[in-house]
Every structure is written in C-alpha cells, then in structure tokens.
C-alpha cells in the first residue's frame, strides 16, 4: 500500500441572489447552498422559509448540511437538522456530513450529527470513515467521541489499517495515547504486515514509534 493520504474532495457551487429568486427553484437551491458554504445562517433560514429543499445538493452532491459540517458551523448545522436535513446523505465521493466534521476536527458539529443518528461506519470512495479522518487528522476529541458512540477501537478499515495506524502514520502522539488508553492493540498489522510502530517509523515519526514499541511489548 502506498503512503497514507488523507485526501478529501471539496466542492463549490456558484450562487446568485435577487428579487426574483423565490420564483426560481434552482436559484433558491443555489442560495441555500451558497449561504451554508459561506456561513450565513440568516440566509439559510430565509432560503428554507422561501421553500428551498433542505436536502438540495451541489453538482458534486454536497448538501447544505455537508457544507456546514465541513466548516464546523454549529448554528447552521442546528438550523438544517431542525429542518430535518438527511444526516447521512453523502456527496458523490460518498463523504457524509459526519466525515466532513471529523476531517475538520469540528467536535460540536460532530456531536450534533451523532445525536441525530449519523452513521459512524459509513465509508467514502477511498474506504475512509469518520474515525479514519479523525485519527489521521489528529482530532483526538472526535476520536474519543466516536469511541463513545460505539466505534470499535481496533476496527479494521481499508487495507486492514486501524485508527491507531492512521494516527501513528501522521505522528499524532496525543491521539495515539488516547487510542492506546482505550485498548488499541499496537501489535496488529495491516495488509502489508506492518504494525503501527513500523508505519510511524517509515513516516519519520520516531517518538511515536517508541511509544508504540513499548505498548506492543506490554500488550
């Protein structure tokens, strides 16, 4: 397997505004999406009140909720969830709002999504889940949040990687410590036969590798 990569797909949609926007459903959808993307909660509310579908999507499938979650905009997330936005509706890359929040390290947005039933086991086209994005990004609080919502600490993801391996590969010592404290097994190997320690070493993270070496010996 090639080096770890936390690639993430972004999308934008040009929006127009004007006096006749309420009479144009396409313009109304664009207004909602642009408002979510730009963090304009008041405009989000106006667009919804004017009849914009809460699950309107950009050309790459992002909903307003996905855009708001990516920004970590709790106020807009709350408005959209209150309007019954689909909490699990993914974009064309299969990225869900929870994955977007996890990628950005937005704990409060992630909590709101989980409270409304966001699926923790959904995976995008690259096989990454919210836990993979959180662990690989060093977002320890979201890692803990996902563990508290039932994600198995030693769950295997694409290429048999675990959350510990993702955190180790990027040298996130605090996240590694949190996962080890939650029972992560440092002796597990990926589909290449590499442990989290080996992955840390090959990515130039010696301090994390040493922590994992000790953890594997004591497991």
Q: What is d(CA 191, CA 141) in angstroms, rounded to the nearest whole number? A: 28
**Which of 144, 71, 141, 72 lies closest to 109 in space, CA to CA?**
72
Other beta carbons within 10 Å of 14? 9
| 153: containing domain | 128-219
| Residue 171 and residue 140 in contact, taking contact as beta carbons nearer than 8 Å | no
In the predicted structure, residue 9 carries a pLDDT above the cut 80: no
Co-location of 101 and 138 in the same domain = no
Shared domain for 136 and 171, answered yes or no, is yes
Is pLDDT at 124 greater than 90 in this prediction? yes
pLDDT for 22: 52
Domain end, chosen from 91, 119, 147, is at: 119
Interval 21-35: pLDDT, tens: 455 668 999 999 999
- For 144-188, what is each residue's pLDDT tens digit? 999 999 999 999 999 999 999 999 999 999 999 999 999 999 999
CATH number, residue 88:
1.25.40.20
Give the pLDDT band of residue 218 (cuts 50, 70, 90).
Answer: confident
Residues 81-105: tens digit of each pLDDT: 999 999 999 999 999 999 999 999 9
Confidence (pLDDT) at 18:
45
Provide the pLDDT for residue 6: 65
Q: Are residues 42 and 134 in the same domain?
A: no
Number of domains forming the structure of the chain: 2
pLDDT tens across 38-57, in order?
Answer: 999 999 999 999 999 999 99
Residue 19 reports pLDDT greater than 60: no
pLDDT score at 20: 42
Share of the chain above pLDDT 90, in %: 85
My answer on whether 210 and 134 are in the same domain is yes
How high is the pLDDT of residue 152? Answer: 98
Phi, psi (rounded to 5 degrees) for 59? -65, -20
Number of neighbouring beta carbons within 10 Å of residue 179: 30
Q: Which residues of 90-126 are buried (b: 16+ CB within 10 A; e: fewer)?
A: bbebbbbbbbbbbbbbbbebbbbbbebebbbebbbee
């Amino acid at each position: 397997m090639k080096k770890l990569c936390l690639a993430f797909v972004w999308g934008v949609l040009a929006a127009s505004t004007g006096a006749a926007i309420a009479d144009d459903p396409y313009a109304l959808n664009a207004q909602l999406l642009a408002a979510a993307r730009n963090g304009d909660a008041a405009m989000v509310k106006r667009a919804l009140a004017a009849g914009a579908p809460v699950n309107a999507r950009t050309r790459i499938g992002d909903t307003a909720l996905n855009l708001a979650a990516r920004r970590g905009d709790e106020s807009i997330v709350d408005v959209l969830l209150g309007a019954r936005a689909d909490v699990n509706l993914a974009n064309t890359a299969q990225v869900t709002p929870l994955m977007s929040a996890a990628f950005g390290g937005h704990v409060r947005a992630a909590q709101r999504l989980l409270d409304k039933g966001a699926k923790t086991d959904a995976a995008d086209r690259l096989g990454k889940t919210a836990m993979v994005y959180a662990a690989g990004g060093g977002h320890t609080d979201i890692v803990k949040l996902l563990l508290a919502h039932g994600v198995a600490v030693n769950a295997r993801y694409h290429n048999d990687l675990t959350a510990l391996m993702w955190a180790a590969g990027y040298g996130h010592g605090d996240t590694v410590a949190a996962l080890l404290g939650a029972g992560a097994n440092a002796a597990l190997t990926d589909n290449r036969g590499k442990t989290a320690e080996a992955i840390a070493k090959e990515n130039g993270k010696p301090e994390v590798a040493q922590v994992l070496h000790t953890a594997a010996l004591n497991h």
